Structure 1
Amino acid sequence: MTHNVAILGASGYTGAELVRLISQHPDIQIAALAAERKAGMEMADVFPHLRHLSLPTLCKIGEIDFSTIDLCFCALPHKTSQEVISALPADLKIVDLSADFRLSDPEEYEKWYGNPHSAVEMQKEAVYGLTEFNREAIANARLVAGTGCNAATGQFVLRPLIAADVIDLDDIILDMKCAVSGAGRALKENLLHAELSEGYNAYALGSTHRHLGEFDEQFSAIAGRPVKVQFTPHLLPVNRGILATTYVKGDAKAIYAALEAAYKDEPFVELLPFGQGPSTHNVRGSNFVHIGVAEDRLEGRAIVIAALDNLTKGSSGQALQNANLMLGLEETAGLMMAPLFP
């Protein structure tokens, strides 16, 4: 059986990535592509790298017949997703790639995103979409909230370590390097080539980065008490990838064993040999996460590093992984492509 899907926000990076991935899926076909400002255009004109595909013409959301759609991907901006999703059919399965349903507490959403939550009742049914840790709930969900790409990377490192109680929860430093595509496709002065290239800078310093809300909620729920990490993201002049270097207090071998136990049967998470570190080069364009562990020169401390592609495993690949579960399909379907190298 072939399942029909719609992609709302198809003219953005995550929308294009969904098209790329689904084009190779054995059981899913794209029945509708929506992009309000580019309605009427062909996808090949918006993203020439997809011109070899036979795709629907971009349309407005209101033009889609959702009675023919089995699942809808919403790759829309924050706040817009709440408004759009609230108006969709009540029985439609939805994977939201925005931040609008990631935080279970509407007050926390308002704190981190600066506007009141406009779909509080729907928030109650939203399931957090970090697939490896929430499979059963995702498979039975109607609305799945995709994680932030930074938040996903940090959680792949820290969730197993918090659960296994092998690190000091009050001494966690997360240093993250992020590709420019994580900021979306909208024109921004600081992302112009002349402003960004040949440089490297930290941003959202201190307690201002929105993904801290996800870290606080998820890590505290696992630990059963408040957990707050020190977190600094850095913007790299590269197109894809996230590299998260985490400094923790704990025995490096015990940390490695906890990660090995957590991921031994996971098809998309690769734990490297002890002492080796990952590279964004080796996960580019794929749904894989690479994790490495090394002893710090300071006794009783360890370094844990994770790398993933922010547009694939950090967003659209994760969304498709969740959709596979929601539609009763093989979780890995359409996602086992090898990374691009070099």
Structure 2
Amino acid sequence: MKEFPKENVAQFVKEVTGAQKVELSNICLLSGGAIQENWLVDFDIEGGDYTGMLECVVRRDSSASGVAISHGRKEEFALLKRVFEAGVTVPEPLWLSVDDSGTEAPFFVMRRVNGTASAHTIVKDMSYVPDRVRLAEDLGRELARIHSVTPPDKALDFLPDPPAQPALSQVAKLRGFLDEHHTPYPVLEWGLRWLERNAPITPKVTLCHGDYRTGNYMVDKERVTGILDWEFTGWSDPLEDIGWFCAKCWRFSRPDLEAGGIGNREDFYRGYEQKSGSAIDRSQVFYWEVMAHLNWAVIAIQQGERHCSGREKSLLLALTSHIVPELEWNILKMTEKS
């Protein structure tokens, strides 16, 4: 059973706001969170800068170490602040707590946004956003706002330097993991070789979300209310995000709806192009969809090993590892003619 550090969080918020008294209520662990924990918390604050009731989410490290390539909470908080300033629809980041002694897991507090992020609910339940053309367009516009942030950016100086060739850089990272792994994955090696041989040149590197998909945004009352989960964000080819969003592995129960299982690809593209003022190179998106399957397969292997190693017993992590064969099959089908 996961426990919430109620007293530590209350004391932190009291100090950072200058309040005389802070009480926490309605504490609830939200669903999901294979890598991080998200806790719903209401803060009743007396005195200081935030007097009154504040509805928030506290995001903290999971009980076991996360996926190796994910950001820590300090970096994720900085990213959230930067894209909030860029006009991206995200929960407002409020306060960051980092314990230099290492005795307490780092966490940050952000304002709560209403709605659901459940991918299966969003895909199946039309009541949240009945107008799926508008939803696809809005998600395209949100992504364009993210991609408006370009290097160099002082607020994001903790990110690794932008790669000269993002595609080959990604291939190298994935191959490095597979080369050191105890179990061979021949199909993934095949896919990596295909990606290496077909790697495109990136004309412009931008900030990329890294996990832009249905399940990582919230919708409510016919609109997008928040883009979530920034732990994989970095500098890359903007088509990486577009390919990830449109990849078959992220369409859930609607493989026919190529834009994240919620709409048509061209509607998503249109919203992006209208906001960015730049045309999407449609001939290159397929490449990044293949990359999405490779990347997700490696992450699934990592998550499964967190369970199997005993570091964190989790049915969710165990089940995630079982999607690897399906991803391998998709990779073979996508690359069989080239």
Q: TM-score, normalised by structure 1?
A: 0.28
Which protein is richer in helix relative to its size? Answer: 2
Q: TM-score, normalised by structure 2?
A: 0.28
